[in-house]
Amino acid sequence: MPTFTCDLNAPVSPFDHFWEHTLGSGHAPLALRADWQTQLARCHADLGARHVRFHGILSDDMGTLICQDEKLLYSFFNADQVMDFLLSIGMRPFVELSFMPATLASGDTTVFRYRGNVTPPRDVHQWATLIGKLVGHWTERYGAEETRQWYLEVWNEPNLPQFWTGDQAKYFELYRATAEAIKAVDGSLRVGGPATAQNAWIPEFLEFCGQHNLPADFVSTHYYPTDAFGTIGADSDAQLAHAPRDVMRKRATEARQQAGARPLYYTEWNTSSNPRHNLHDEPASAAYATHILMSVRGLVQGYSFWTFSDIFAENFFPALPFQGGFGLLTINGIPKPVYRAYQLLHRLGSEELPVEGRHDTVEVWAVRQAGRTPTSLTLLLVNDAQPRHPIHTEVARVRLLNAGDPAAAFVERIDQDHANPRRAWQAMGAPAYPTARQVEQLRSESQLRAEPLGARRVDGVLEFTLALPPHSVAAVTLELEPTAPAEG
């Protein structure tokens, strides 16, 4: 039986909710949809999400720039509709400045079903003019105090030929023109990059900025544990089976060292890079995501899950409610197990207590709400291993030293039998187009449910045991009365 011990009188460490900084989406025009907006508002309310990032705000389908009768026509109406909505619900954009308007493009190479142009500009000065006009417009419309809280990221994954037909030098030229145009509007606006896949180009990017006295207010990059931007049907479980358990922490440590003192944002990650991977819909993704998030604490300022919703149109627009998409929510707005993991994480407090004890698959963290009386303490437990690796149900014992008596004690679970709407969908016959009533039933099946937990004193130590099935998450919440002062 793995045993974990926490002393409630031990020094605490700040517990930063960095994963709430940003969530990803797919494609800018989706942000004009009512269902997209409803789902994002829910993520803000339930999960504490503060920013959202998506591709293509400069692409032709947003109408940002066209050429008619040999005149450049700028239109920021659709972009404004998105920004207006975000601000109305208390969120802000993490603006990815992409893709290339066709009228500025040097070629016709595109990516995704919606054909985002990925070629460098024919004239980088015209690109800089577009950026200056757009950012200047936003600063005038929303005010400098507001736009200084936004993040302006230059392009998406320019180290991959799918997303940039130029080379590194061409990207650096684009970054230089973009950064200078932004700072010409307001020197306090935040601009950064290189927005690469797989931690690429960070040292070269910062060296270039230093050599040319260019701002790099933050560093951004992407990483997926599969380290493969896979095709539909790829055996992602096999990829994950070969991925080291601590791969995401290793890569974040590497990027942290390269970024130096600059803020570091991972603006894309997920439990795999396959857009059709059943893992994304299953409890195993909740367990793996929780393990990853807890492993990169102290290394990053933001860690943006790709994506918050299966309302997503890079390959084709999905129809099935459970089809292995990237989202925390299905297209119908049904929370997946990983959504519920994010919900549990959001509820955690701001002070972490050290926990002693090790196990191959079980991890335990203790976090409390600062200044609460009685003390509100949550023990977050995960039993997780890479796919196809040995894992069994484990009964974990947790011992709490210097703990008062529990006024309340309950556990919320995510596993095959809890908060698992995909299994309920399969049980109802896997309808391709569930009715409104069926959707409500599935949302009900996805709910976290508080179950009473017994905790008892053994030799003066408050303890409990909990069975953790394979690939599961459990959050034990204890409301603890103050301990009696020691005598003498």
Q: Name the strand (E) or helix (H) holding 148.
A: none
User: Cβ of 262: how many Cβ atoms within 10 Å?
Assistant: 17
Would you list the DSSP string of 53-89? EEE-TTSGGGTSEEEETTEEEE--HHHHHHHHHHHHT
Catalytic residue among 268, 351, 363, 445: 268
| Active site annotation includes 268 | yes
Catalytic residue among 20, 96, 153, 157: 157
| Active site annotation includes 70 | no
Cis amide linkage into residue 307, ω under 30° from 0: yes
Q: Is 399 helix (H, G, I), strand (E, B) or coil?
A: strand
Alpha helix (H) residue ranges in 186-282: 202-211, 236-242, 247-259
Q: How far apart are CA 328 and CA 23, in angstroms?
A: 10
Compute the Cα dihedral for 271, 98, 22, 334 and give only its sign. negative
DSSP 477: E
Q: Is 269 helix (H, G, I), strand (E, B) or coil?
A: strand
Identify the burial level of 120 via C-beta atoms within 10 angstroms of its C-beta, where 0-12 means exposed, 13-18 middle and 19 or more buried.
buried
For the record, the structure tokens of 86 come out as 């975000």
The residues pairing with 376 across neighbouring beta strands, listed in sequence order, are 479
User: Cβ of 85: how many Cβ atoms within 10 Å?
Assistant: 16
Tell me if 472 sits within 8 A of 383, measured CB to CB.
Answer: yes
Question: Which residues are identified as catalytic?
Answer: 157, 268
